[in-house]
Structure 1
Amino acid sequence: MKKTTLLVGLAFGASFFTGCATSEQHGDKQEVASVPKVDHLVDYTDFTLTADLSKLSSNQKKMIKKMIQVSEIMDNIFWKQAYGDKNSFIESLKTPELKRYAEVNYGPWDRLQDNRPFVDGVGTKPIGANFYPKDMTKEEFSKLQNQEKSSLYTVVIRDSRGELKVVPYSKEYKAELDKASSLLLECAQLAKDPGLKKYLELRAKAFLSNDYFQSDLAWMDMKTNPIDFVVGPIENYEDKLYGYKTSFEGYVLIKDMEWSKKLEKFASFLPELQKGLPVENKYKTELPGTDSQLNAYDVVYYAGDCNAGSKTIAINLPNDERVQEQKGSRRLQLKNAMRAKYEKILVPISEVLIDPSQRQHITFDAFFANTMFHEVAHGLGIKGTINGRGTVRKALKEHASALEEGKADILGLYMVSQLHKKGEIDGKMEDYYTTFLAGIFRSVRFGAASAHGVANMIRFNFFKEHGAFQYDEASGYYMVNYEKMEEAMNALSAKILTLQGNGDYQGVAELVKSHGKITYDLQKDLDRIDDANIPTDVIFNQGVEVLGL
């Protein structure tokens, strides 16, 4: 877990690091980006992903090896979605350090620095990544007469005549998905758990059919399997043009049975908490699924979207609203990755920015709970607009992800406060509130290119305006005003839920513009974190050899 400063010492690579600005046209918007200096590039800390495999059978260990193979395929597809041809790009880079940094970012754009290019001459990252033609305008897209154009599982390309054409993932990535499907069927043959076996078989079929609904339902039905595999096109963060298209990824997970047993009761409180949300009744008429699950895992392999830039430490899936309505969702807490970020990043940040009188309230249990209830809170609120504008995701387009993450952040804290009042969780509320503030400083460093980064800035600025967070200029420390926290929490909860329920695209755009940016004063404090050489995120040592397989 030593500190790794990627690209330090690359000042001699002048052809890659110049001060000039480059630009690239995408759709209706012209954006300009400059190549950052070497000392502005992000620091990461190493962490080795391991787990106790001693209780696993020979077949289960073989299954993990095959799952890692499938994950590597997901990784290759994500490279195509995020940038293009990986091999030719990596080979064009001059130094091992630069190649490694490009691998971490899945391309030449620094994901934790608002996607600024760190390789000269590549231009601004297309906001639609490789899901759409780079020269496509929104007007052109709107005129395309194909109902699959906004599907989660299609790309839009130009045909030989230059006309827009919609292609399913199963065809666009056919060679890779055929191989992945075969490997999943081999995994299924090794599986003894009937739920896992069914899921793997259906997921293998989904890669070929482009229909993931049945496999998502099967994944929800798994209850007792010690091994889990989250794999496929899942999150839509990479598509910043519309937020429609999903990216391929893979997590190989070992379930912590003891921790999971402790957590299983919390999802049952969702219907009760939904009724108590601090918003008008018309925004909380939907009933959360009653089959939701909450479990803890050690993750042993990351690939694709979840491995790009900032690393995921908790999962809430499936994203399909139909599945959520029928089955609820599953929340997976990635305990070993969470512990790494707490010890190596969150605690050091608190020592720089949190007032010494409140530092005793920074605890791992509070960090774990805040993260966990963030994922559970995705199940609260509303999925469909109340005024006929369709799903919240479709109505809010590219802003949907940031606002949904903001909702989960704030309603997660709401859940903590309500369950604490009921005596269902231990510890002091001061622990949860103070760790919540320190967590914002950790996550906001992911930058405005991240939906989580935007969500954190909205939350930080809103809470500071309401006096819940206070700053002492003389000392340079932040403090939580515990008395004002609940008031600010309820006010922001109501605002976000109302925006989502109304499908208010313009209102969300205004909120992002007014509150979703890092202010000059805050940036000075974040610079103090960098000056203290605190890493921004982690990179993983992982794979079959690391696991001893």
Structure 2
Amino acid sequence: MNPFAKLTRGLSGAALLSLAISQSTLAAEPQLLPEFKDRLDIYQEVTLNSDLSHLSANQKKMLAVLIDASKIMDDLFWQQAFYQDKNRFLASIKDPKVRQFADINYGPWDRLQADQPFLSGYKAKAPGAEFYPHKMSKEGFEKAEFADKKGLYSLVKEKDGKLISVPYSEAYAKPLAKAAKLLNRAAELAEDKDFANYLRLRATAITSDDYQPSDMAWMDMKNNPIDVVIGAIETYEDQLYGYRAAYEAYVLVKDMDWSKRLEKFASTLPALQKGLPVADNYKQEMPGSNADLNAYDVIYYAGHSNAGGKTIAINLPNDEEVQLSKGTRRLQLKNAMRAKFDYTLKPIAEVLIVPEQRKHITFNAFFSNTMFHEVAHGLGIKNTVNDKGTVRQALKEHASALEEGKADILGLYMVSQLLKDGTITEGQLEDYYTTFLAGIFRSVRFGASSAHGKANMIRFNYFEEKGAFFRNDKGQYGVDMDNMSKAMASLSELILRLQGEGDYEGVGELFEEKGKIGKTLAADLARLQEARIPVDITFKQGKSVLGL
């Protein structure tokens, strides 16, 4: 007699039916895979709040409306990232900690562990997420001819055996109309006319897929104490090609004092562009002079920006025409940045940085390195020098990772130059270099599959090869100042040249050779896990948290 027969012997028909239903429900419920048991606590919860006492009643009402609009972006990102209904999926997970982990990851794949499935019943994540048919091959896509093939704002679908594109404005028409209505309502409450104009144009943008007018208007805003970044923006979720943008939102309150401190840096961009360590034809484009730097408290994250590892600085718009015409805006999310420094970077330094250099780990250096990473997105080259189109189109799925690598290394180059000419007066070069090295360990923990993760691994392995840092017999790392400067310049030149030439194959070889985590580094990162140092932060956020 089999075990199930022994178990059920003597039960009534009704009891047997009840047991069968229970067995079926149990089988259907996703279970946490054993190897992910220790990953449920890798996020430190942080409350997202800010001092709103200086805001008027209308401005506070506007913040609440903007949060409501952001929630719609959050729901849309779920649809782009995962093929199941969000609410049914989360309700099927009974363990509250597992459910929270799934909520943080926007699906059953661990975003900081190479998108591996952490729940039973799920296969590997499709590289193209829900932007493309899962059965579509790259070869089939590249041979096909259809409208808006490489579009930022359309889904690729299969119809009658052929590939077609469906505009976001059509695919998500109802929720986008609701979000647009909320943005127009926020515009009515706005006290800054430029911000009101941006909100109205953004409402039009998300319902028409024409973002450029609102991007231009966003660049013209200078004095608004509240901001919102909302819409289909970054292309990281599309790991198949990097063509399609995902929905996200940030609701922001400007830190006027810190923003004033940053004003002087924007004017240095043209001179820094001219001084880049690369041949002249790779730096012939001049960034717009209207760029600005500001610091904010972020009070709400939604969609792509909230999935897995959290963004702590923003450089937008991504539109190359807007960048060349008006530059970009760099937004430093100071409260989120401070939380990452306190809960992740400082504890990492206590484990992996040599004791004599730990004094050089400072929040000022972390803030500046992060800020100049975003500034550096505006430097270099946006269009290839050999008529291969934009860098983003020529490098396809490699574009985002190489761009992040460029921003990291050029950001550090900029800091060194501005320290040298006296524009930066706080701290010393050792602070920035040592904090930068510790920052690599922090970011590498996000996994080598993401754009930022690949960029970090390339930089770590390149620096190791050039002797930019050393590792002692205790597994602690320290900066070699001379070699760090040389490696910084040579890696900057390599990346700018690959971008300028649109060298897809060359970038692929670089990733293949240096985009991996070696055994020694993996063992050192495991020590951080053993020390129970959080990998990243997650948020307690919303209108109730803010008293709105």
* 1:210 corresponds to: 209
* 2:253 corresponds to: 254
> For the residues of structure 2 that align with 1:193 and 1:517, how far apart are their CA atoms?
48
* 1:322 corresponds to: 321
**Aligned residues of 1:149 and 1:155 also touching (Cα < 8 A):** no
**Aligned residues of 1:42 and 1:112 also touching (Cα < 8 A):** no
1:456-484 per-position Cα deviation (integer Å, ceiling 9, x unaligned): 11111111110011111x22110100111
The letter of the residue matching 2:212 is F
1:267-287 per-position Cα deviation (integer Å, ceiling 9, x unaligned): 111110111111111101000
> For the residues of structure 2 that align with 1:410 and 1:39, how far apart are their CA atoms?
33
- Deviation, 1:80, is 0.2
Report whether the alignment pairs 1:98 with 2:113.
Answer: no
The structure that is helix-richer by fraction is 2
Report whether the alignment pairs 1:165 with 2:180.
Answer: no
Q: Which ranges in structure 2 are unaligned for 5 or more consecutive residues?
A: 1-27
- Deviation, 1:42, is 5.7
> For the residues of structure 2 that align with 1:224 and 1:40, how far apart are their CA atoms?
43
> For the residues of structure 2 that align with 1:524 and 1:207, how far apart are their CA atoms?
46
Q: Secondary structure at the match of 1:235?
A: coil
Q: How does 1:37-52 map to 2 (within 5 A)?
A: 37-41=36-40, 43-52=42-51
1:500-533 per-position Cα deviation (integer Å, ceiling 9, x unaligned): 0000001000111111111011000000000100
> For the residues of structure 2 that align with 1:420 and 1:17, how far apart are their CA atoms?
49
> After the TM superposition, which segments of 4 or more aligned residues of structure 1 sit over 3 Å from their partners?
none
1:124-165 per-position Cα deviation (integer Å, ceiling 9, x unaligned): 000000000000011221232224121110110122x23211
> For the residues of structure 1 that align with 2:410 and 2:380, how far apart are their CA atoms?
9
**Aligned residues of 2:262 and 2:294 also touching (Cα < 8 A):** yes
The letter of the residue matching 1:441 is F
- Deviation, 1:236, is 0.4
Q: Secondary structure at the match of 2:135?
A: coil
Cα gap change, 1:531 to 1:280, in 2 (>3 Å): same
* 2:481 corresponds to: 482
* 2:311 corresponds to: 312
**Aligned residues of 2:40 and 2:98 also touching (Cα < 8 A):** no
- Deviation, 1:14, is 10
* 2:175 corresponds to: 176
The letter of the residue matching 2:226 is I
Q: How does 1:381-530 map to 2 (within 5 A)?
A: 381-425=380-424, 426-472=426-472, 474-530=473-529
The structure with more radius of gyration = 2
* 2:198 corresponds to: 199
Q: Which ranges in structure 1 are unaligned for 5 or more consecutive residues?
A: 1-12, 20-35
Aligned length: 520
1:345-390 per-position Cα deviation (integer Å, ceiling 9, x unaligned): 1000000000001000000000000000000000100000000100
**Aligned residues of 1:267 and 1:293 also touching (Cα < 8 A):** yes
> For the residues of structure 2 that align with 1:417 and 1:360, how far apart are their CA atoms?
19
Report whether the alignment pairs 1:223 with 2:222.
Answer: yes
> For the residues of structure 1 that align with 2:499 and 2:322, how far apart are their CA atoms?
19
Fraction of identical pairs, as percent: 61
The letter of the residue matching 2:389 is G
* 1:31 corresponds to: none
> For the residues of structure 1 that align with 2:36 and 2:542, how far apart are their CA atoms?
32
Q: What is the alpha-carbon root mean square deviation over aligned residues? A: 1.3
> For the residues of structure 2 that align with 1:180 and 1:95, how far apart are their CA atoms?
33
Q: How does 1:103-142 map to 2 (within 5 A)?
A: 103-142=103-142
**Aligned residues of 2:30 and 2:92 also touching (Cα < 8 A):** no
> For the residues of structure 2 that align with 1:544 and 1:37, how far apart are their CA atoms?
32
* 1:185 corresponds to: 184
* 1:533 corresponds to: 532
- Deviation, 1:403, is 0.2
1:412-463 per-position Cα deviation (integer Å, ceiling 9, x unaligned): 0000000000111121100000000000000000002211111111111111
Report whether the alignment pairs 1:16 with 2:31.
Answer: yes
1:211-245 per-position Cα deviation (integer Å, ceiling 9, x unaligned): 00100000111000000000000000000000000
> For the residues of structure 2 that align with 1:42 and 1:467, how far apart are their CA atoms?
35
- Deviation, 1:41, is 4.9
The letter of the residue matching 2:343 is K
Q: Secondary structure at the match of 1:278?
A: coil
> For the residues of structure 2 that align with 1:221 and 1:330, how far apart are their CA atoms?
10
> For the residues of structure 2 that align with 1:414 and 1:224, how far apart are their CA atoms?
30
- Deviation, 1:37, is 3.4
* 2:286 corresponds to: 287
The letter of the residue matching 1:210 is D
Q: Secondary structure at the match of 1:150?
A: coil
